[in-house]
Structures are given as C-alpha cells and as structure tokens.
Structure 1
Amino acid sequence: MRIDLNADLGEGFGIWRLGDDEQLLDVVTSANVACGFHAGDPPTMRRICALAADRGVAIGAQVGYRDLAGFGRRRIEVDPAELEAEVLYQIGALEGCARAAGTRVRYVKPHGALYNTAADERGVADAVASAIALFDRGLPLLGLPGSALEAAAAAAGVPFVPEAFADRAYRPDGRLVARGEPGAVIDDPYEVVARAAAFAVQHRVTASDGSTITVEARSLCVHGDTPGAVYLAREIRRTLVDAGTTLAPFTT
C-alpha cells in the first residue's frame, strides 16, 4: 500500500501566520502552497518552497478565487476565460518561487470554494484544467474522485489524482458536506485518525447518513488550519506506517 499525505501550507499573509508550516513539512509528503489569491504572499511562498525543497516534500500550487478577505471559501462568479487566466497566473507565480528553491511545481490543487464548485460545475472545472494544460499538460490535478474536475482533466489531457479528506464529513454521494452544515469538519482526533486508516487501507469511509461508501484515493489531505493539525498529521502518519502503508508523494 502506498499513499501521499498532503496539507495546505503558506496560508498566512504579511505578518499573520496560520498553522505551523515547518512542523507540518516534517510530516507530510506533499505541500499545497497558497499562491496569493486566497492566502499567502511572495515572501511566504518563497519560504515554504525553500523549506519543502530542503525536506524533499513535493510542492503543489493551491489555486483559489481572488478572495483574501473570505479565505477563498466564498463562491465567486468569474468568467471562465478570466478564471483560466487567474489559475495560470497563480501556477506561474509559485513556479518562480519553486525554481528559486531549486525545485518545481509538481501538481495543482484548487482551494476551498473553487475546489467545491469545480467538483460540481463542468464549466469551472474546464477553466481550471485548461489553465493547467496551458502551463504544463504533465502537471497532475489533485481533486475529488468522480467529480467534474476528474472529467475536465481527462478532456484536457491532464493527469488526475484522486484525494480524500480525513477531517471532513462525506455525503452518501461521495461529495463533501458543506462547511456551513453541522459536523462538516471532524474535530475528534481519534475519529480523524481512524478515518485516515480506513481511506488508506480499506478505501472506504462512513458517510453522514451512516452508510459506507467507497473512496479510491492516492492522496490524503489534512487541513493545516485545523486545531491540532500537527498532532493529527503525526498520528495519521504513525498509524498508516504501522499498518504497512508507504507514505510518498504521488508525483516525482
């Protein structure tokens, strides 16, 4: 068994810091680095890229809506051509920081509202996948399995990597429970760790209605802004290793 462990990093801005990036980089195998639209700024992007390169952690561009005030968690209506350009811009900005650190961007993952909207709306998903193809058709797109993003990636000729969320609740149809709904974010560390093991070993999870659904994932996400994120990440890593799972980036 082999799986990637990813986390959202570099989500501070200016003098503000969110999460413990350095400690998480000692645990995860891939880093979804904020590219300045929903969070992050050039100095933070450079710092995270340098730290990730030193640790052999794969760098991914976490692209989002232009929404610093809402942390990219508000749906915004954007013309598809404009969205394509904004995603392309964000990937390019992080690539510059990655090259300065002696590495490169190795995948792309939408953030927050863009992630959820692109999972359901093909037009939004096509704009994201098209931007990736314009930049580098070999860059994998990390997203929700069975979503519009997966279909858009296939149409654009972009590799797709399915992921799962240890600390998010799932609907019976395999979509995530919306953050505004009760129980959307799971804060019980024991349950989070147990769900991570179920994803990696059994490829299944208990949905919000109590049913068991199958989720085939090659990468497992732990949110860096979740309370106790470092502890959770460490426990997930320890549990997966103990279960005989190899933790490694999904891309080289």
Structure 2
Amino acid sequence: MPPSILGDLPRRQRYRVYARFVAILAGALGAYAFSVLVQENEYLWAVIPAVVLALATVAEFAVTDLLLDKRFPPESAALLDRLQQKLTTTNIHDAIVDSLNNCVRGFRGCDPSKISSTLHLRVDVLPDSDSGAVPSLIQVSAYTRKSLGGRRWRVLNPAVGLVGRCLRLNDIVWVNFRDRSEYDHRMVSEFGFSSDEVQRHTTSARSYLASPLRDEKQIVGVLYFFSTEPQVFPVAADLVELERTGQDVLRLLRVARIL
C-alpha cells in the first residue's frame, strides 16, 4: 500500500497494516527456512523456523487485535471502524468539507482564503490509569486549507488546547494572539501544551474559534476554525451559520449511520 494511502488511514489502522506486513514477512521467511531444512533432513533445526512461524502468527493477532485497540472501549472501536469505512468509501467526507467551506464563506469582514477548518468527533478513550473511559476527540475531516492544519485521524487530549476547552465547557470558545511569541507562551501557560508540542503546531494562525456540535443537548463533536489574520474571531463568526453548519454535519453523519 503506497505511503500516501497509509497516511490517510487512522493511526490504529496504519499500525495494523504495518504489524501484519511484518508478521507476514516473518512467517514467509520462517516457512521458507522450514521447507529447506526439512528437505535437507535437518529436522531438529527445522523446529526453529517452525517456532518463528507460530510466533509470527500469534504476534500478528496480539498486536493488531489486542494491543492496538486496547486504548478504546468497544463502542469507540466500533465508531472508529464505521468512520473509516464510511469516510473512505462514500462522499460523506467531501460533503462535510463542503459544509465547512460554506460556513467560512458566510463569515463577515475577513478573508475566507486565510481560514482553515475541520471537524472533530467525540470518542471515549481508555487512559493508562484504571479510571475508566474518558471523553476525547478525533479529527475526522481534512482541513479545508491543505497547507493549514494537521493530518486527520489524530486523537486529541481533551485536557489541553482550544478544542479540548470547547469539549469540556460545551460552549463556543475563541482566542487571539498578537504574534508567534504570544502564541508560544499562552499555548503552554494557558492551554496546557508542552513546548515540544507547540513547535509541532501550525504557528502561522492568529485567531481561533471552536464551536460545539450538539445532538440535542449532548456534545458529540467540535467545529474548529482558525485564521492567519489577527482578531478575526469571534466578530467574523455568524452564530446562525455555525448552528446551520452543525445541523448539516449532524444530518450527514446520521445519513451515513456514523451517529
């Protein structure tokens, strides 16, 4: 599978492909060595590749079906499987991106070409502790501006960042930065990121807004926007347009039987 295709898969699915490739390769080499040694009547030595073959089979199952999914409870794993299947085999992803783009075009007093947006959905994860499942977010759509924003399928820590704040408060939140120095400082002191994490962010943006996606009163996701222009949000945002976009995205997710 080409790297460009693997890069568009969820991380758990990419690791599953890698693990199965390694297991298949190890199994094939073990089977070849076993057949050669048997033909040479080296039955005792043939036990070694036979064991390798058995271990490769067990490892493939353990890594792909146990270790990679242990971070997610069964309901979340099922949701992620539905997301991957629907967003890669139907036009739902493109329809969501179109809806976000239409929302951006409705913003006032700003340059829409300098705004990028994406959709995060709520998904429960199992932290390393024994505290049970906690709500988190996964980025399920590509950013509407390819050069602005990170890769989709990232699972976000709900305790940090503007998106996490939106999830925790179940309310619209926004923030503005004068320059890169203020961005770096506040992302650490106010939003909980480490300095290393901040360096991996898109640092050219200056104005951010996160709006809750609600199914009735329950928050099921976050619509996320940022602009490279300063002081765009919240003034530019049209609350009616944000609500309409949220309902449109919910309708798409329901039609696809994702929610």
Query: Shorter-chain TM-score: which interval?
Result: under 0.3
Look at both structures and tell me which one has the larger radius of gyration over its CA atoms: 2
More helix by share: 2
Greater length-normalized contact order (CA 8 Å, ≥ 6 residues apart): 1
Could you state the TM-score of these two structures normalised by the residue count of structure 2? 0.25
Could you state the TM-score of these two structures normalised by the residue count of structure 1? 0.26
